[in-house]
Copies of this chain bind each other. A is one copy, B any other.
Amino acid sequence: MSKVRILNFTISLDGYGAGPNQAADSPLGVGGEELHNWMVKTATFRKLYGGEGGEEGIDNDFTVRGLSNIGAWILGRNMFTLSRGEWPDDGWKGWWGENPPYHAPVFVLTHHPRASIPMEGGTTFHFVTEGIHVALERAREAAGEKDVRILGGVNVIRQYLRERLVDEMHIPIAPVVLGSGEHLYTGVNLLELGYKLTEHVTTSDAMHLVFTRS
């Protein structure tokens, strides 16, 4: 049975899913890149971007899980681009080059319609203006038997959580201070939403926490 999952969405020790001042040279905001140290060093991540080497072990296992059995992806527009409002005619096709690491349909939530963008390697960016429920419907349909992964950002995750649409989530905490930014758990009561901590394991670069909704 297909599930809706949030995976590898890392927050800082003070609770932020991205740093302040997102910009072209810091798409995750100031300090935001460091959140993902645990993942970037892994063999799986390196391979994903055409590199070699990297570490095996717990952090790698979670990186693998984040990519396994994913049939469709959902993300907010702010994760796709820096531009806001009407789509500019700037040829932007996301942060990830011609062959993005998704290899499946990716549904981008936006208020502004835009034609789909087919990429190499099986990724197609679709732009959904009808809200989170429609995006999920389309993603489920595209995913078939596989799972739908909600990539982020914080605002999108909070919306899906509040609507009780997420079956499982893996939210690592990285030993990184961001100081400010978007706080993941503001207005989100995990217990009220029915989540239980079903798995936790720590490494030098992350406290891996997995929540399952009952």
| Interface residue? A195 (CB, 8 A) | yes
> How big is chain A's contact interface, by range?
20 to 34
A16 to chain B: closest residue by CB: B185
Q: Is A179 an interface residue (CB 8 A)?
A: yes
Q: Does A204 contact B (CB under 8 A)?
A: yes
Q: Is the CB–CB distance between A178 and B207 below 8 Å?
A: no
Interface of A: prevailing SS = loop
Contact A175 B200 (CB under 8 A): yes
The answer to whether the Cβ of A209 comes within 8 Å of any Cβ in the partner chain is yes
Query: Chain B residues near A15 (CB, 8 Å)?
Result: 14-15, 183, 185
Using a CB–CB distance below 8 Å, which chain A residues touch chain B? Answer: 13-15, 31, 171, 173, 175-180, 183, 185-186, 188-192, 195-197, 200, 202-204, 207, 209, 211
